[in-house]
Structure 1
Amino acid sequence: MQLICRFNKGDQLVPQRFEEGYTPATEFHLTVGQTYAVHAMALWESGLVTLLVDDTGRPGWQPVELFTVADHRVPADWEFDMGEPTDMVKAIWGYSALIQDPDHHDALSELKPAALEIFWSEVQRRTADEPVSD
């Protein structure tokens, strides 16, 4: 799955996002017009977010309303889970470690080294599995 960045400023967000701490002045490390690979998706209380590598070179959860879909295909090996009704994360789907390890989501959001190692290993594995185009 790939997304094309349409916006990179908080003034394009839906109002529910401001409850997460974003403001209309928030600037995302994304380039308008650039295509980004999606590594996972989650439904938070405030809406759908996607896990991608932003222009800083680090993974992060980005509000989906900043993008349009460029490639609709979802990896066949993604897994899915749902949170409890009181959880901020209502549903999540993506690579196995994200689903099987309940602490991985938060550790990755906090850019903890062990979580980053798992993430980059997954990115490398997926990149190696992609067919080479002619």
Structure 2
Amino acid sequence: MEVTCVKEHVDGKSEISMEYNYGGAPEVTAGLSYPVAGMSIYAGVAMVLIRDDAQLPGWYPMEMFDVRDPRMPSHWLFAKYPGSEYLQALWGYEELINDEFHYDALLERDNGALVIFSNRLRGSGVADA
């Protein structure tokens, strides 16, 4: 799956999602395309996990993007979190779904998680497109 940035900011409900993940301004550029490593529903907002302009994993609201290539990798897995107030659903590569610490480790910029993220993007078939 690949998305193209159509706006570099968010409004309304999506601001909650951005505050949790970054606490700062988004690092994406309108007109550029980004391979998607995962998707989530966070606080009721559809999010995509991409490698942003800072070359780091980032969760961004889908409202910032158009879908360039809608094909999802066949190896993606899914999990739901009915007891969570914020993270409600998650799609993506194996470690994102099966390793209970990987999601947070990406946000904390843990080196091991960053290596896994990069390797999974490289294997997605669109990372170098």
Q: Structure 2 length as normaliser, TM-score?
A: 0.85
**Structure 1 residues 86-105: aligned runs within 5 Å:** 86-105=84-103
2:67 is matched with which residue: 69, 84, 99?
69
1:5 corresponds in structure 2 to 5
Which residue of the partner structure matches residue 18 of structure 1? 15
Sequence identity percentage:
32
Q: 5+ residue gaps in structure 2?
A: none
Aligned residue type for 2:40? A
- 1:107 is aligned to 105
CA RMSD of aligned residues (A): 2.0
**Greater relative contact order: 1 or 2 (C-alpha under 8 angstroms, separation 6 or more)?**
2
Retained in 1: the 8 A contact 2:40–2:46?
Answer: yes
What do residues 24-80 of structure 1 show as CA deviations (whole Å, max 9, x unaligned)? xx6321111111111100111140110001111111111110001111111111000
Aligned residues of 1:19 and 1:46 also touching (Cα < 8 A)? no
User: Does 1:50 pair with 2:48?
Assistant: yes
Q: What is the TM-score normalised by the length of structure 1? A: 0.82
Aligned length: 123
Name the amino acid aligned to 1:9: H
Task: Supply the distance in 1 between the matched residues of 2:16 and 2:49 (Cα, whole angstroms).
Answer: 19
Opposite residue 84 of structure 1, the aligned amino acid is P
Quote the Cα distance in structure 2 between the aligned partners of 1:78 and 1:17: 24
Larger Rg: 1
- Unpaired runs of 5+ in structure 1? none
Q: Distance in 2 between matches of 1:54 and 1:27?
A: 12
Question: Counterpart amino acid of 1:69?
Answer: V
